[in-house]
Structure 1
Amino acid sequence: MIMPNIPALIAWGIITAFFIPVGWTPNEGLAELVGPTIHYLLPLLIANTGGRMVYDARGGVVATVATMGVIVGSDHLINQFNATLPEGAAELGTVHMFIGAMIMGPLAAWVMKQLDKLWDGKVKAGFEMLVNMFSAGIAAFGLAIAGFYLLAPVINWIMDVLGNAVEWLINNHLLPLVSLIIEPAKVFFLNNAINHGVLTPLGTQMSSVDGKSILYLLEANPGPGLGVLLAFTIFGVGVARATAPGAAIIHFFGGIHEIYFPYVLMKPALLLAVILGGATGVTTNMLFDSGLRAPAAPGSIIAIIAQTAQDSYLGVILSVVLSATVSFLVAAVIIRASRKADLAAAEAGDDALAAAVAKTEENKGKKSDALAGLAGAGAGAGVAAATLTKPVQKVIFACDAGMGSSAMGASVMRNKMKAAGLGDITVNNLAIANLDDSADIIITQNELTPRAKGRVPGAMHVSVDNFMNSPRYDEVVELVRAQRAGELDEVAPEAEAAPNAAPVAAPVATAGAAAGAGAVAATAAEPAAEPVAAAEAPATEAAVTEAQTGEGQVLTPDRVIANGKATNKEDAIREAGEMLVAAGAVTPDYIDAMFDREATVSTYMGNYIAIPHGTNEAKASVLDSALAFIRYENPIDWDGNEVRFVVGIAGKDGGHLEILSAIATIFANQENVDRLIAAPDAAALYAELEGVNK
């Protein structure tokens, strides 16, 4: 709720810096912006954001009015208390309702949503607007009164307890100890919850009185992460060392702290480095009585300097430098101590960074652009330094079930190989459990690469972020083309290939490995020049015959929906699964298997499409091949990616694979995707898609 409103907090910090009596350019009139902005505007923006997250604009309006009741209720209680104080006694200061807004905003919107459900479909025609307007107004009125009398006292008490706790830590010189909690919590993606959920409200309260707050720097200081990344740059090995310099730039100047989390997860002992670095920074700011005027978000050194209080530049800059120095020294000792083991692991092809990136995204709960770039760099480096011990003849896309996502990836790659004049290269898809030594190159999603390596350690393994449009495909095609053209070193015959053959030089270094970030820019596949042959995407003879005659079609008009009802990933998976059950293609148990598959690895494919399907173990629940195609008016958050189309899959004896190849070809072309988005109804959607049955 707070993150989208950080620009407003920054604006308030700039207003404060310039116009208060001790600011850069004092202005009595403009300084009057400071109080109302922090006391009313910022909490109401937060409340509106929380309300919209729960119930769109309607929820935002009700949430804003209800939060106004909490703000005024708090002011009323404080005024009453101050009126009872003897003359000259220190009065209580105003409480700014950030936490109140974070509680009341989504709560009020949720209440409004439940109330609307009570009379949904029961209002007579012509009275809908009247009921909608008055119901929201009355609900907002009631919730504002409840906030005034019930929530305001609770929030005042919470702020008083938290404020006293922070004051006690500062007065007893114990504030550096909070790094024991904050630094590990950051690595496990509790950083925003701690920083903007607790420290920002308390820091804003402190800054409104003192003009600055040390609390803004407890989490935002980039020094600890910078020290770890510099240590990897000098003492690390393999992909971690190659990507650390780029990650350090993104972290320190871009303020994207999450990019250093995988490096710490690779070696949990590095938590000690960031804890000691963080404590050093806090101690430095305490000694110099330094702080920021407003939150530094993102936690870039640029944002930190911009928000530094006028009397705090020396302390703030020293806190960053010293925390980075301490973190670097501790991390260097830890990394050096395990260097021999790291070198051995790298030699064995163990990509610890990729596994740590996957773990970090699991902690975050969704995909991350910054981490995807980091993973892409590692994958790109793997392609650039590929170990090829024999001529490439067979490329396998592997996923958990081998039913859907891998089939679409194989189709995209097959088209790219044909376009490059390499149509004789076999490109197929399999379940990881069915992999064997016949594969020369195995392509898997990042999360599944370790499993694929365990099955076939002798193959070249390529990790991708999604199967639809990874830039790794072009790198694989170029590597195979260069091998065919004799541009690579001589390839050892299969029978004579040494178990630990030296890496073959790549034709060019990948841009992803060099840049360290942004390596997963989408690359659209070329349209297929001709229909995919059955030998390339295996299907039963019966399935092919049925598709040609129009009987037993896998995609039928009744399984194409233009306006899906789901609003989140879980409901979308269930909606697609229920369509497959209704079609008689699967048993109800298959829906559970679809959720099991999603828990293992995301079925997001790129270009706004996801293809949820069951696990390999669930094939007994599949009665027939079928697809369910659903379009959503509002994008669904699919692990941090926008999804407009969900294709539920049930595959019996490979009968769905050619259709998936056709769908992959459609979605690899952005113009086709745009037409599907613009299609007015389900009939128009099916008209765009019905060719897949042929």
Structure 2
Amino acid sequence: MTTTSPPQAGAQKGGGARVRVQRFGTFLSGMVMPNIPAFIAWGLITSFFIATGWLPNGILGGFGNADLIGWQGAATALAQADDGTTFPQYVGLVSPMITYLLPLLIANTGGRMVYGARGGVVGTIATMGVIVGASIPMFIGAMIMGPLGAWLIKQIDKIWAGKIRPGFEMLVDNFSAGILGFLLALAGFFGIAPVVEFLSKALEAGVNWLISIGLLPLASILVEPGKVLFLNNAINHGVFTPLGVQQVAEQGKSILFLIEANPGPGLGILLAFSIFGIGLAKASAPGAIIIQFFGGIHEIYFPYVLSKPITILAAIAGGATGVAVNVLFNSGLRAPASPGSIFAVLLQTAPDSYIGVILSVICAAAVSFLVTAVILRASRKRDLLNENAGDLSAAIAQTEANKGKESSVLGNLRAEGVPAGDAEAVAEETSLLTDTRPIRNIVFACDAGMGSSAMGASVLRNKIKKAGIEGVTVVNKAIANLDDDVDLVITQRELTPRAQERTPSAEHVSVDNFMNSPRYDEVVDKLREQNAQA
């Protein structure tokens, strides 16, 4: 096993409330983000087939002659038919997916993060109790019961680890998990479901109260700085997504999906830096706009804010403006827009909300642009006299420190400002691949198994294809889902120790930048040698 970059001292140490919230947010996003495709599918089904959708369909949307939506409405209607006749009432896809599929996916993912497939099974069984025991979608319940069930079965397995007589392992494993799942399902039904339902309704009531008195835009005072400090996952996936999906089930759309995902504030800031910025900040901002606005990777504009911290006021003003416009037009999305690309936002927009949503993006961008422009113009003379003004290196480093790991997207910004000699020095910090065994399976791993690792896997896959090398698979996974059956694992430097714990027999490569690391050429060269020797 070879690690091309040793873990930095203290890299895994956390400190302070911000780091703890970041870890909590990472754990929540790790449960939700892998299942975003399911949320998108549900949102599309809702947009098309419910009674107020683009293509209303009673069979798929779950409504019929009695105008009662969902399986509960159908059951009520059939029970009330005293003449023995039944009329068309359909379960549809909308209600079962939000009631069962989405919470169970979250629970299974959370359980797997804690204790693999076994934890996922027990966590899913436990979550079924809170689902049936509540009258609202149990997303928060799934986030609690999935990891809790997995943690409990993990502790139980430790009790008799190595003490079971040969031949009885499967019997003990199956019945211990089954009995614990049975008990947790009952506990969820009678105890946890009412508590979670109460908390969910209280949070929803608080959001509705803020909307009713026009104070919801003030949420941007917390959300926008939280985004720059990478605390947004705890807010977005822990509160906004569960409450937003619940609002969609009740109202057909939710404004909560747009509080954090609106690309307008970041667009305005980057536009201002493109026109009024100086140095690397001005040169790189146009390219950052494409990544932020169309790609939905909002973290690309964080270094610009950190390079001139007062511009956080522009982000807050823009975010609050966008929320205010959506409140004014009563607009919202059908499902989470993840990533926060304008394409994802428009795709999930409710049919009656396009004007409000588009205006919210435009107005948010305009306000953040104006505020940033004023700030940059006011300090332009002073910045021109400062030789370090416009240099994003320190701001990128601070952004990655806030995030707690290297960023492939931000690495591109850094690369634009690093001289060739420095880049070569960075490359020499790590050793080459030395393991002589064949490489057939390569995995890029990151926290969520999406985003940066997917981009890195795509880059290396293209390099291997151009080199004419066959028989090598390149995939991306979350670190929590790694199995010790792969040949090579590529991670960002700070994550390598965690990957080594999951795959101790694999060869490991650490990179600073998933998008353009020199390590990829070394991997391709080794694969060429491997093919030549075959």
TM over 0.5: yes
Given candidates 123, 127, 141, the residue that maps to 1:67 is 127
SS in 1 for 2:58: coil
- The answer to whether 1:358 aligns with 2:397 is yes
Give yes or no for contact 2:492–2:510 (8 Å, CA) kept in 1. no
Counterpart residue number, 1:581: none
Given candidates 316, 326, 333, the residue that maps to 2:374 is 333
Counterpart residue number, 1:370: 409
Give yes or no for contact 2:511–2:519 (8 Å, CA) kept in 1. no
Aligned pairs for 1:424-503 (under 5 A) are: none
Given candidates 75, 82, 99, the residue that maps to 2:140 is 99
Counterpart residue number, 1:53: 113
Given candidates 500, 503, 522, the residue that maps to 1:668 is 522
AA in 2 matched with 1:46: I
- The answer to whether 1:299 aligns with 2:340 is yes
> Please, what TM-score do these two structures have when normalized by structure 2?
0.71
Counterpart residue number, 1:196: 237
Q: Deviations for 1:236-290, whole angstroms, at most 9, x for unmatched residues?
A: 1111111111111111011111111111111110110010001111111111111
Counterpart residue number, 2:57: 27
Deviation at 1:609, TM superposition (A): 9.6
Counterpart residue number, 1:647: none
Give yes or no for contact 2:489–2:508 (8 Å, CA) kept in 1. no
Residues 639 and 207 (structure 1), Cα distance of their counterparts in 2 relative to 1, 3 Å cut? farther
Given candidates 30, 37, 40, the residue that maps to 1:10 is 40
Give yes or no for contact 1:218–1:282 (8 Å, CA) kept in 2. yes
Counterpart residue number, 2:84: none
SS in 2 for 1:55: helix
Report the Cα distance in structure 2 between the residues aligned to 1:333 and 1:215, rounded to whole angstroms. Answer: 30
SS in 1 for 2:260: helix
Deviation at 1:150, TM superposition (A): 2.2
Deviation at 1:16, TM superposition (A): 0.7
Report the Cα distance in structure 2 between the residues aligned to 1:611 and 1:19, rounded to whole angstroms. Answer: 45
Residues 23 and 630 (structure 1), Cα distance of their counterparts in 2 relative to 1, 3 Å cut? closer
Deviation at 1:325, TM superposition (A): 0.2
- The answer to whether 1:112 aligns with 2:153 is yes
Report the Cα distance in structure 1 between the residues aligned to 2:341 and 2:519, rounded to whole angstroms. Answer: 41
Give yes or no for contact 1:365–1:639 (8 Å, CA) kept in 2. no
Q: Deviations for 1:156-213, whole angstroms, at most 9, x for unmatched residues?
A: 1211210111111011111111111111111111222211211111111111111111
Q: Deviations for 1:530-577, whole angstroms, at most 9, x for unmatched residues?
A: xxxxxxxxxxxxxxxxxxxxxxxxxxxxxxxxxxxxx99xxxxxxxxx
Counterpart residue number, 1:241: 282
Aligned pairs for 1:133-172 (under 5 A) are: 133-172=174-213
Q: Specify every segment of 5 or more residues in structure 2 that has no aligned partner in the other structure, as ranges.
A: 1-30, 62-91, 434-454, 464-478, 481-487
Aligned pairs for 1:303-314 (under 5 A) are: 303-314=344-355
AA in 2 matched with 1:668: E
AA in 1 matched with 2:295: G
Give yes or no for contact 1:257–1:299 (8 Å, CA) kept in 2. yes
Residues 352 and 672 (structure 1), Cα distance of their counterparts in 2 relative to 1, 3 Å cut? same
Deviation at 1:291, TM superposition (A): 0.9
Q: Deviations for 1:485-530, whole angstroms, at most 9, x for unmatched residues?
A: xxxxxxxxxxxxxxxxxxxxxxxxxxxxxxxx99x96799xxxxxx
Report the Cα distance in structure 2 between the residues aligned to 1:59 and 1:306, rounded to whole angstroms. Answer: 35
> Please, what TM-score do these two structures have when normalized by structure 1?
0.56
Residues 331 and 184 (structure 1), Cα distance of their counterparts in 2 relative to 1, 3 Å cut? same
Q: Deviations for 1:54-92, whole angstroms, at most 9, x for unmatched residues?
A: 111111111100000111122xxxxxxxxxxxxxxxxxx
Give yes or no for contact 2:393–2:417 (8 Å, CA) kept in 1. yes
Q: Deviations for 1:334-373, whole angstroms, at most 9, x for unmatched residues?
A: 112222333333x35x774121112111211222221222
Which structure ranks higher in relative contact order (CA pairs < 8 Å, sequence separation ≥ 6)? 2
Residues 311 and 222 (structure 1), Cα distance of their counterparts in 2 relative to 1, 3 Å cut? same
Residues 342 and 666 (structure 1), Cα distance of their counterparts in 2 relative to 1, 3 Å cut? closer
Counterpart residue number, 1:323: 364
Residues 635 and 324 (structure 1), Cα distance of their counterparts in 2 relative to 1, 3 Å cut? farther
Deviation at 1:640, TM superposition (A): 9.3
Q: Specify every segment of 5 or more residues in structure 1 that has no aligned partner in the other structure, as ranges.
A: 75-93, 387-394, 399-404, 413-516, 525-566, 569-604, 614-627, 643-663, 677-694
Report the Cα distance in structure 2 between the residues aligned to 1:314 and 1:140, rounded to whole angstroms. Answer: 48
Give yes or no for contact 2:492–2:511 (8 Å, CA) kept in 1. no
Residues 17 and 239 (structure 1), Cα distance of their counterparts in 2 relative to 1, 3 Å cut? same
Q: Deviations for 1:123-153, whole angstroms, at most 9, x for unmatched residues?
A: 1112112211111111211211221222112
Counterpart residue number, 2:322: 281
Deviation at 1:378, TM superposition (A): 2.5
Counterpart residue number, 1:263: 304
Deviation at 1:673, TM superposition (A): 7.7
Counterpart residue number, 2:476: none
Deviation at 1:407, TM superposition (A): 5.3
Report the Cα distance in structure 2 between the residues aligned to 1:609 and 1:291, rounded to whole angstroms. Answer: 36
Give yes or no for contact 2:224–2:315 (8 Å, CA) kept in 1. yes
Deviation at 1:304, TM superposition (A): 0.8
Q: Deviations for 1:649-668, whole angstroms, at most 9, x for unmatched residues?
A: xxxxxxxxxxxxxxx99993
- After superposition, the CA RMSD in angstroms is 3.5
- The answer to whether 1:207 aligns with 2:248 is yes
Report the Cα distance in structure 2 between the residues aligned to 1:115 and 1:629, rounded to whole angstroms. Answer: 22
Q: Deviations for 1:86-140, whole angstroms, at most 9, x for unmatched residues?
A: xxxxxxxx31111111111111111111111111111111211221111111121
Report the Cα distance in structure 1 between the residues aligned to 2:509 and 2:257, rounded to whole angstroms. Answer: 30
Identity of aligned residues (%): 58
Report the Cα distance in structure 1 between the residues aligned to 2:490 and 2:297, rounded to whole angstroms. Answer: 25
AA in 2 matched with 1:18: F
Q: Deviations for 1:375-417, whole angstroms, at most 9, x for unmatched residues?
A: 22222xx349x9xxxxxxxx9948xxxxxx95546x89xxxxx
AA in 1 matched with 2:278: V
Counterpart residue number, 2:331: 290
Give yes or no for contact 1:48–1:61 (8 Å, CA) kept in 2. yes
Q: Please say which structure displays the higher CA radius of gyration.
A: 1
Counterpart residue number, 2:25: none
Deviation at 1:37, TM superposition (A): 0.3
SS in 1 for 2:163: coil
Residues 67 and 635 (structure 1), Cα distance of their counterparts in 2 relative to 1, 3 Å cut? farther
Report the Cα distance in structure 1 between the residues aligned to 2:362 and 2:154, rounded to whole angstroms. Answer: 50
AA in 1 matched with 2:522: A
AA in 2 matched with 1:2: V
Report the Cα distance in structure 1 between the residues aligned to 2:114 and 2:502, rounded to whole angstroms. Answer: 23
Residues 396 and 25 (structure 1), Cα distance of their counterparts in 2 relative to 1, 3 Å cut? closer
